[in-house]
Chain A
């Protein structure tokens, strides 16, 4: 295949990108690709998880089709479809995280582990350390119940009770 830009060299770089809300594909030679910012010299690490994300996304979709998300499920706010997201690995807007929430959660878990945000918040009403611990424990409790590890679940429940009691004092 010839490069679409210079129409001279062999196209060896194949790019999928959302432009103006449309999924577009480019086939470029190395030289044209780097001139248009598709290559090397970036300070941003090329995360291996970025490459792996694509296959996770497709498998997450087939898992969740039973629950109603299909490739054509569309974010009502920005119009991105799930299959656009699976192709590019990019969300379309803040609302997408709700629109595709249940489907994408296992994917996020595989990238980051089973965690909730514990960092900075844009509001000054940021959570206290105890509140962070409580929300962490609640998730662990859910997970333990799901795996039917009831002994562990009971321990976590006690811990939670103590913390919440302490928090209300």
Chain B
């Protein structure tokens, strides 16, 4: 059974809890497995009839995952969700924007705690995603592995001994596994070390990109680090390798923060308090300004400059003040100026409530 009643904008996903290891630097960890069916053309070559058959399989799998009649997993055909609600799912990272390209013939299975989302008819027939709070790739991989084996009991995957799981794009061949760790790196940005580290990471098999916006100047100093190669290594090797790369980034971010404090503590405190001052007083704020200031306040919280704000408010505010989430929460369509007012209100009230 699916519940279409309440908007996803009112719920928190598991990754937004602000818990887990290394949460001073790491916001969330995600594992994604790409899987295709042996007997169906891949999504780009499917006819609409075939796509609907795969969509029905998605619905059946959703029910099969609910062992003993539990209501852990729900099935959402994208066609049944309005465009605002689809956008909220993107803002919460539960679906990719690409899934919208074929909204009439795509769908997603989402677990009650929103740690699991399985996209159907995206670039591949199935994209199994597990998303956890903090640095927890192992937990995400263990869950994805279990779900994958469960699904393999119901369908026949496209698989080859040499190439592994056959994916629509050859860049995902083999394990079909992409791990992505969302990190907050204001220390490395402020000490101007980031671009050097980004180019270093590409040499050890990792890809770095801004979470919002491209290039090295990502909004809010939020960066995601992912593995590059998917073929020729076991899943645990890929996860271990990404883990050790991220651990090194975490270590450097911490020492950059330390250096900032030692170099000029008052200057850093001043920036944090100014950001806090604007966010707790502004009556109108654009998304791009909000995310930069929230990033500074989060840094202040982690460094103990601001002691009364729990770290869990940040994912909630970063997601909750984006275009669609903010309108779904308000229960109304808002133009850009109205959104800026609403955003300022939301952030001010949330921070002052602590």
Chain A interface (Cβ within 8 Å of chain B)?
A: 17-21, 34-50, 53, 77-80, 88-94, 97, 104, 107-108, 111-122
With most chain A CB atoms within 10 A of its CB, the pick from B44, B165, B178, B213 is B44
- In the bound complex, what is the Cα–Cα distance between A38 and B233 (angstroms)? 31
Q: Which residues of B contact A94 (CB under 8 A)?
A: 36, 38, 42, 158, 160, 166
B91 contacts A by Cβ under 8 Å: yes
Whether the Cβ atoms of A122 and B100 lie closer than 8 Å is: no
Q: Which residues of A contact B129 (CB under 8 A)?
A: 43
Whether the Cβ atoms of A37 and B170 lie closer than 8 Å is: no
Contact count band on B: 35 or more
Whether the Cβ atoms of A43 and B45 lie closer than 8 Å is: no
Give 13 CB contacts A-B under 8 Å: A18-B45, A20-B46, A20-B48, A36-B100, A37-B98, A37-B100, A40-B97, A53-B169, A78-B45, A114-B232, A117-B175, A118-B234, A119-B235
Whether the Cβ atoms of A112 and B157 lie closer than 8 Å is: no
Interface of A is mostly: loop
Chain B 203-224 near chain A by CB (<8 Å), digits 1 or 0: 0000101001110000000001
Whether the Cβ atoms of A47 and B157 lie closer than 8 Å is: no
- In the bound complex, what is the Cα–Cα distance between A77 and B178 (angstroms)? 28
Whether the Cβ atoms of B175 and A120 lie closer than 8 Å is: yes
Shortest distance from the beta carbon of B207 to any chain A beta carbon, whole Å: 5
Smallest CB gap from B127: residue in A: A44
Chain B interface (Cβ within 8 Å of chain A)?
A: 30, 32, 36, 38, 40-42, 44-48, 83, 90-91, 93, 96-101, 123, 129, 145, 148, 152, 156-171, 173-175, 177-178, 180, 207, 209, 212-214, 224, 226, 228-235, 237-238
- In the bound complex, what is the Cα–Cα distance between A139 and B42 (angstroms)? 29
Shortest distance from the beta carbon of A15 to any chain B beta carbon, whole Å: 9
Q: Which residues of B contact A121 (CB under 8 A)?
A: 159
Known: A91-B42, A94-B158, A118-B232. A39 touches B97 (CB 8 A): yes
Shortest distance from the beta carbon of A6 to any chain B beta carbon, whole Å: 15
- In the bound complex, what is the Cα–Cα distance between A162 and B242 (angstroms)? 34
Shortest distance from the beta carbon of B179 to any chain A beta carbon, whole Å: 10
Q: Which one of A90, A113, A116, A122 contacts B169 once the chains associate, using CB atoms below 8 Å?
A: A90
Q: Which one of A45, A116, A119, A120 contacts B224 once the chains associate, using CB atoms below 8 Å?
A: A45
Q: Which residues of B contact A53 (CB under 8 A)?
A: 169-171
> Which 9 A/B pairs are nearest by Cβ-Cβ distance?
A115-B232, A117-B164, A37-B100, A18-B44, A94-B158, A92-B45, A37-B97, A112-B231, A119-B175
Whether the Cβ atoms of B229 and A112 lie closer than 8 Å is: yes
Smallest CB gap from B162: residue in A: A116
- In the bound complex, what is the Cα–Cα distance between A18 and B228 (angstroms)? 25
- In the bound complex, what is the Cα–Cα distance between A78 and B224 (angstroms)? 36
Smallest CB gap from A117: residue in B: B164
Q: Which residues of A contact B98 (CB under 8 A)?
A: 37-38, 42, 44
